[in-house]
Chain A
Amino acid sequence: MPRFARLILAALLALAASSTVRADELLKARVGVLRLSSSAPVFIAQDKGYFRAAGLDIELKFFDAAQPIAVATASGDIDFGITAFTAGLYNLAGKGTLKVIGGMSREKAGYPLIGYFASNNAYAAGLRTPKDLAGKRIAVTQVGSSFHYSLGLLADKYGLKLSDMKVLPLQSLSNVAAALKGETVDAALLPASTARKLIDDGGAKLLGWVGDETPWQLGAVFASPKTLTDKPLVTKLLAALARADREYHDVILAAVADGKAPINEVTKPLLEIIAKYTNLPVEQVVGNCAYIDPDGKLDVKNVANQVEWLQEQGFVDKGFTADTIIAGEYVKPD
């Protein structure tokens, strides 16, 4: 018995020693993400050990909205943030509290993310395509959100006036879905994940996907200026993410057809990782695969357009340009 106890003690000591050595070698960082498939490469890199292989000890911090990730990055509670661009994020970046270091999810033709949806009554009254949205009452979550900007892009594409549309901010996705189902708005912009149940229950009609109409750079990787001074850390993180981006692109995105990824022996391991981190069944993950550039490139031109549009609308403070919020030494421009 004492010998056995000694053995256990020795094993524990050895384990403790080895883990302290390993923790010394690894660079520690906290990464803030949403439990959405648009962060798929982060989950893959974490689950398959790509971060660890690059010499990083990454702790994932999960958030429930895009804005708090930007705020937490600015305040230093997390080192890196990965989420969608919002007016709030640009306002923080404009004050120099964070910078964009790489691209993440994109709206791209064939990959459904955000959609335009019509209420049943409006659909019956002739609202059939995104082009018909002129002059309608359209619900979005918040002013200056991805949904609002998508609507602005659509207006630009068809020469419609955004001021003709009545944009109603309802603050949360559930409120938007309720308004659409309750016929109190004509249309709404919703992510595919929220809209699925509504469409399946016959509560609304799909008009089209933003990616098919107006592709744009939806999400990005960003960091605070303090993190940016740690060059080895940033370089290693981006390299590990690029490795996962490539794998996600080649295995899953390349197989997507009709907006859905097939479930087979090749795609299943990755789909299961995404399902695990997003708390969704694999069957729901396949229809909601965000496009991500295989090299982690950022559509710099579109980011500049976003900043200008939001400044024009008065949602982002004037007095800075996209160049000043993009960390040129890290970003691979598209």
Chain B
Amino acid sequence: MKPSGKFSMLERPKTGDRTDETRPVAFRGAGFAPKAGRYSGWIALVLAIGLWQLAGSAGWVNPLFLPAPSAIAVAIYRLAISGALWQHLSYSIMRIGTGWILGTVAGVIVGFGIGLSSLTRGVGITFISALFPIPKIALLPLLILWLGIGEQPKIATIALGVFFSTAISVYSGVDAVPRNLIRMAQSFNVPFHAIVRRVIWPGALPSILAGFRITASVALLLVVSAEMIGAEYGIGAFVLQAGNLMQTDQLLAGVVILSLFGLAVGRVINWLETRLLHWR
């Protein structure tokens, strides 16, 4: 059947063919470790803004449809010297901060509950799955009926959005803690609260912090819809008003401020990660 003297792929050569000589092989282990360069991101950003400014100054696009970066800078400057910027920012920071903290505290508690108790898990996951996909904007009229048009519905909108994402990332984090670590702690008769504090909490922390990164952005996204509810001040209210009045330069000025705010929050979370996860 088989041609003699040759071996099929599946068959091991019994003797002979293999030599004990070593053969130099080029190192193949490089790559798959992307590192953000110090400058490449900034250079790309500057180039993109330069091109945008050029398109505006050269008159390739109608300034109404896409205001040039210089027009946006002027709008931000005017906002800053009139003092309105700080008023808008302080209101929004207050709402985002309060809403985020409330949502996060509730989310962490519920997330740990789901991760640690069977009863909470059954009830909690069902409710989260049922309530998470509801668009919060659709509930605005109801929130107004329940909570009025003061600060409560605005904070509640942000807190609700933050709560679900936090709860999900916390219980996934708890689930992902290696069971053998927990079993080992149990075999040393470590009490329950100490296992939670010393094993589960640090083990779940990376995914909790990754969740914070998402919820911080969610809070920024939601501040615009939250400030739909009768807000006089706030970056979201400012963006909405500029949109209503078709003042596109001011609209984009508000958007730029929101994204700068997002960058700042990202930095804070980076710092938290290096502080809290130094053991990694």
User: Are A and B subunits of one complex?
Assistant: yes
Residues of A within 8 A of B (CB): 67, 70-71, 74-75, 86-89, 91-92, 95, 97, 139, 142-145, 168-172, 174-175, 177-179, 181-182, 184-185, 315-317
A92 to B228 alpha-carbon distance, docked (Å): 23
B22 at the interface (CB under 8 A from A): no
Contacts of B62 in A (CB 8 A): 97
Residue of A nearest to B150 (CB): A184
Q: Which residues of A contact B240 (CB under 8 A)?
A: 142, 169, 171
Check A179–B230 contact: CB distance below 8 A.
Answer: yes
- Closest Cβ of chain B: how far from A291's Cβ, in Å? 26
Proximity bits, B62-75, A CB within 8 Å = 1, else 0 = 11110000000000
Residue numbers in B under 8 Å from A178 (CB-CB): 140-142, 144-145
Bound: A163/B43 CA distance, A = 48
Q: Are A70 and B244 in contact (CB under 8 A)?
A: no
B contact residues around A89 at 8 Å (CB): 246
The answer to whether A185 and B149 have CB atoms under 8 Å apart is: yes
20 contacts between A and B (CB under 8 A): A67-B246, A70-B246, A71-B246, A87-B244, A89-B246, A91-B245, A91-B247, A143-B241, A144-B245, A168-B149, A169-B230, A169-B240, A170-B149, A170-B229, A171-B229, A178-B144, A179-B149, A179-B230, A182-B144, A315-B245
Query: For chain A, what secondary structure do more than half of its interface residues adopt (helix, strand, loop), or is it mixed?
Result: mixed
Which chain B residues border A317 with CB–CB below 8 Å? 247
What residues of A have a CB within 8 angstroms of the CB of B141 in the complex? 174-175, 177-178
- A316-B144 contact in complex given A75-B65, A170-B230, C-beta closer than 8 Å: no
Q: Does residue B13 face the partner (Cβ distance < 8 Å to A)?
A: no
CB distance from B254 to the nearest CB of A (A): 14
Task: List the A side residues contacting B241 at CB < 8 Å.
Answer: 142-143, 169
CB distance from B86 to the nearest CB of A (A): 18
With a cutoff of 8 Å between Cβ atoms, the chain A residues found around residue B149 in the complex are 139, 168, 170, 179, 184-185
| Cβ-defined partner of A142 (8 Å) among B63, B64, B229, B244 | B244
CA–CA, A182 and B144, complex, Å: 7
Residue contact A67 to B230, C-beta cutoff 8 Å: no
A-B pairs with lowest CB-CB distance, top 10: A88-B246, A178-B141, A168-B230, A184-B148, A182-B145, A171-B228, A142-B244, A178-B144, A91-B246, A184-B149
Write the chain A residue with the least CB distance to B64.
A95
Instruction: Please give, as numbers and ranges, the residues of chain A lying within 8 Å of B148 by CB-CB distance.
Output: 179, 182, 184
Other 13 A-B pairs with CB < 8 A, given A97-B64, A169-B244, A170-B229: A87-B244, A88-B246, A91-B246, A95-B63, A139-B230, A142-B244, A168-B149, A175-B229, A178-B144, A182-B146, A184-B144, A184-B148, A316-B245
Could you tell me which residues of chain B, from 136 to 171, have a CB within 8 Å of some CB in chain A? 140-142, 144-146, 148-150
Closest B residue to A141 by beta carbon equals: B244
Determine how close the nearest CB of chain B comes to the CB of A247; give it in whole angstroms. 34
Query: Which of B146, B232, B244 is within 8 Å of A67, CB to CB?
Result: B244
In the docked arrangement, what's the CA distance between A174 and B62, Å? Answer: 34
Considering the complex, give the chain A residue whose CB is closest to the CB of B228: A171
Q: Which B residues are in CB contact (< 8 Å) with A174?
A: 140-141
A179:B144 contact, CB within 8 angstroms: yes
Cross-chain contact of B144 among A75, A95, A142, A170 (Cβ < 8 A): A170
